[in-house]
Amino acid sequence: MPSLLIADDHPLFRAALHRAAIDAVDDLQIIETDAFYGVMEMIEQQEIDLLLLDLNMPGNHGLAGLAAIRAAKPGLAIIIVSANEELSVVRRAFDLGAAGYLPKSSGVADLREALQTVLEGEPWLPPGLRAAVAGAPGCPGDALLADRLASLTPQQYKVLDLVAQGLLNKQIADRMGIQLRTVKAHMTHIMERLGVRNRTQAIRVLHEFGISEPARIIGMGDGDAPSSG
């Protein structure tokens, strides 16, 4: 029985994806999370065949989350679910190892085809984007930055995310329930692995993968997949 993890922080859209996925694939086991940290925990604790990943959710930084997940679970198939349809973003997602890209404006038929295609081991894009994305320029610096992010442990990635949110070391220690010296040790390793000298430069690595998520909400019906921006 294939297993699907739906990661999206919008309850209505997550529920709509759940219903559509059940209709699309027989005997599908589905679990859900509304935060990026939940993704990292679940892929470590359970065998997941396919992940539907929202790029704009708590704890994620655009495509940085994709790079981190690919590092933790190289064999996991990931379909990006996003309201962002910029060709450069879609191209970067595939360059970073995504197996599919599902715009939130897509219909249920597209979701069904995407799930079935990726579970069969093939990449998937909406027909209208395939030729354009193939011709879109890549981002040469992504590979190096992705490799550096990939060297971080899930715990170190969480520390880096909290640093990017503006928390101080003591606040991070309290939030994560760890000792202050452990946070400092994590920061030392983070800067070494990212090849940076300070917190500002470390945050900049995350920002390099950041994308703007269009603010729009479209409902999911029988023919049109709802969208939440």
Token output for 54: 């929202």
Q: How confident is the model over 32-79, as pLDDT tens digits?
A: 999 888 898 898 888 999 999 998 888 888 888 888 888 788 889 999
pLDDT attached to residue 216: 43
Q: Could you tell me the pTM of the whole model?
A: 0.77
User: Please, what CATH class does the domain formed by 3-138+213-228 belong to?
Assistant: alpha beta
Residue 158 or 134, more confident: 158
CA angle 57, 54, 149 (to 5 degrees): 75
Concatenating the DSSP letter of every residue in the chain gives --EEEEE-S-HHHHHHHHHHHHHHSTT-EEEEESSHHHHHHHHHHS--SEEEEESSSTT--TTHHHHHHHHH-TT-EEEEEES---HHHHHHHHHTT-SEEEETT--HHHHHHHHHHHHTT--B--HHHHHHHHHS---TTHHHHHHHHHTS-HHHHHHHHHHHTT--HHHHHHHHT--HHHHHHHHHHHHHHHT-SSHHHHHHHHHHT-------EE---SSS--EE-
For residue 228, the cross-strand partners are 217
C-alpha 14/C-alpha 221 separation (Å) is 13
Average pLDDT, the chain: 85
Q: How confident is the model at residue 89 (pLDDT cuts 50, 70, 90)?
A: confident
Q: Where are the domains of the chain?
A: 3-138+213-228, 142-208
> Which of 66, 15, 70, 74 has the alpha carbon at shortest distance from 36?
66
Architecture of domain 142-208: Orthogonal Bundle (1.10)
Amino acid letter for position 155: Q
Tell me which range, 106-110, 129-133, 189-193, 212-216, is most confidently predicted by mean pLDDT. Answer: 189-193
State pLDDT tens for residues 8-33: 999 988 998 999 899 888 888 999 99
163 torsion bin: left (phi>0), alpha (psi -120 to 50), beta (else): alpha
Please tell me the predicted confidence (pLDDT) of residue 211.
Answer: 62
